[in-house]
Amino acid sequence: MDLSRFDAAPLIAFTATMETDNGTETDGRFLRRCGVDRADERANAQASGFRFGCLHVDVDQMDHSPIRAWKTAIRSVWRAFRIAMLTCKKRSLAKILLIAGTTGAIATSSLGQEVYTVENGREIRPLEVFQDCPVCPEMIVLPLGSFMMGAPPEESAPVDVRLDRKPGEPRGRLTEGPVHEVVIDIPIAMGRNEVTHEEWAVCVADGGCSYQPDRIVSTRKGRNEVVGRSPVNEVSYLDIQEYIAWLNEKTGSDAYRLPTEAEWEYAARAGANTKFAQGDILTPDQANFISFGNITDQGVFSDRDLNSPFMPISVDDLDAANAWGLRHIAGNVLERTLSCWSERHLGLASSSQYLAAALQVQSCDRVGKGGAFNASMYTARPANRGRATEDRRSDIAGFRIVKELESGD
């Protein structure tokens, strides 16, 4: 790699690959920057629990000035290094490769070599699908990493229908901010789909769930019966806790739960920084919604003719998977989360902190995410958020689950 054309080369060409804790091939230049120059010092640091890792920044294709290249590379390396220190497991090879392309964009850190073990002893890796039992939901292992949670007010302007907005005040929901970085430091798998009526019915038949919702949905087109593998709806947060308790008993674990708002948004974005995981717009063949979200000054949608079914559809329908394989996480039914509602994001730095905040409150209004079949495209944005009491049952609301994972080391 020829770095001679970059004045900043000595600062960004210091590393090779991230290695295991016993580190057999660490680049010496990286060790010096960690304050560890000699092998004996390195051994002492390892004995104290220090985790080593190396990062590789390929700037061959960067068509930037030296100053801009320096800023981009150092910012990305530091962000990735902090993630690595949180997520690197003993004897687990976790490679981080940051590639700077001609656009100057640095790819999201890829920690793709984590290995976890599930109940049947199977080893699984990020983005693999598994199922703990024949009647259990399919789960997808999420990669570790970080993301920017929330959105600026202008992103939600098309669906801001506040009646108390002052004259001249710009549209936008302050509840989606502040935008802040969150590190995902609890390894999880998330349901590939929303929990379906069929999966819920097994819990009812087995005595784990006391409430059986019907399949009738009331819409402006009348009352309709949902068919196929449609997501279960009209279940409350409290109903969902029965399902989760049953599922944990079924699998002999306590690993299943609802996602926090931070975990849900991280999964929904799937590494994207755009309004939607698919880009800055959704299409009706990617998600189940009724409008592109253009709101008039009178607070009504100006376009509702998308041939929407106006009801939940099967989790198998549409091209509805994001980059990580999670289907219908945008639209279809609103999804309950574990997090308590707050008028602004808590601004916490990690997913473990968001989980702790959710668990320390016994009862609260819970956050809902993902939009719904009777709402606009803009409500299906990962940053969009709503609220509901714990006992509320709604035609438009369902859920998907997460499972906390254990290292396969």
Statement: residue 122 has pLDDT above 80: yes
pLDDT tens figures, 35-74: 333 334 333 433 333 333 333 333 333 334 444 444 445 5
317-345 tens-digit pLDDT: 999 999 999 999 999 999 999 999 999 99
Local structure of residue 194 (DSSP, 8 states): P
Whole-number Å distance between alpha carbons of 136 and 116:
18
Q: Helix 351-359 crosses helix 261-269 at what angle (to 10 degrees)?
A: 140
Residue at which a domain ends, from 57, 80, 99? 99
Residue 142 has pLDDT above 90, yes or no: yes
30 domain-assigned: yes
Segments forming the whole domain that contains residue 204? 129-407
Are residues 221 and 316 part of one domain? yes
Q: Quote the DSSP letter at residue 268.
A: H
Structure tokens at 283: 């299409």
State whether 150 and 255 are in the same domain. Answer: yes
Q: Are residues 145 and 39 in the same domain?
A: no
Q: pLDDT tens, 176-208?
A: 999 999 999 999 999 999 999 999 999 999 999
Cβ–Cβ < 8 Å for 29, 77? no
Of all residues in the chain, what percent carry a pLDDT higher than 70?
A: 68
More confident residue, 220 or 34: 220
Whether 335 maps to a domain, the answer reads yes
Answer yes or no: do 260 and 323 share one domain.
yes
Nearest to 195 by CA among 139, 264, 120, 253: 139
Strand pairing category for 334-340 and 256-257: unpaired
Q: Is residue 30 pLDDT above 80, yes or no? A: no
CATH number for 197: 3.90.1580.10
Displacement of CA 46 from its chain's centroid (Å): 32
Q: Is residue 2 in some structural domain?
A: no
Mean pLDDT rounded to a whole number for the chain: 77
Token pair of 377, please? 């495209």
- Residue 149 pLDDT exceeds 60: yes
Q: Comparing C-alpha atoms, which of 352, 332, 342, 334 is closest to residue 266?
A: 352
The reply to whether 402 falls in a domain is: yes
The answer to whether the CB of 336 falls within 8 A of the CB of 260 is no
Number of domains in the chain: 2
Residue 409 is predicted with a pLDDT of 53
Residue 26 has pLDDT above 50, yes or no: no
- The answer on 190 and 84 residing in a single domain is no
Closest among 147, 26, 129, 28 to 79, alpha carbons compared: 147
- Max Cα-Cα span within the chain: 75
Residue 272 has pLDDT above 60, yes or no: yes
User: From CA 33, how far away is CA 306, in angstroms rounded?
Assistant: 57
Does the reported pTM lie above 0.85? no
Examine the domain organization and report whether 134 and 95 are in the same domain.
no
Same domain, 213 and 282: yes
Tell me the C-alpha distance between 18 and 16, whole Å: 7
87 and 191, same structural domain?
no
Residues 211 and 246: beta-carbon distance below 8 Å: no
Residue 122 lies in a domain: no
Q: What is the mean pLDDT of residues 286-290?
A: 93
Asked if 293 contacts 159 with a C-beta cutoff of 8 angstroms, the reply is yes
What does the DSSP 8-state code read for residue 157? Answer: G
Residue 106 lies in a domain: no
Of 60 and 387, the structure prediction assigns the larger pLDDT to 387
- Per-position b or e across 59-76, b if 16+ CB within 10 A of its CB: beebebeeeebbebbeeb
Mark out the alpha helices in 270-368 (DSSP H runs).
351-359
**pLDDT score for 101:** 28
Same domain, 82 and 135: no
Amino acid at 218: S
Which has the closest alpha carbon to 379: 149, 161, 197?
Answer: 161
Does 222 score more than 90 pLDDT?
A: no
pLDDT given for residue 316 in this prediction: 96
With respect to residue 3, please indicate whether it lies within any of the assigned structural domains.
no
- Residue 159 vs residue 140, higher pLDDT: 140
pLDDT of residue 214: 87
Band of the pLDDT at 215, cuts 50, 70, 90? confident
* Domain assignment of residue 248, yes or no: yes
Residues 378 and 317 both lie in one domain: yes
Q: What pLDDT, on the 0 to 100 scale, is given for residue 291?
A: 82
304-311 average pLDDT score: 72
Beta strands in 67-114 (DSSP E): 97-99
Reduce the DSSP state of residue 248 to 3 states and report it: helix
* Pair of tokens at residue 3: 């770095």
Q: Which two tokens stand for residue 120?
A: 């049947």
**378/273 same-domain check:** yes
Q: Please tell me whether residues 92 and 140 are part of one structural domain.
A: no
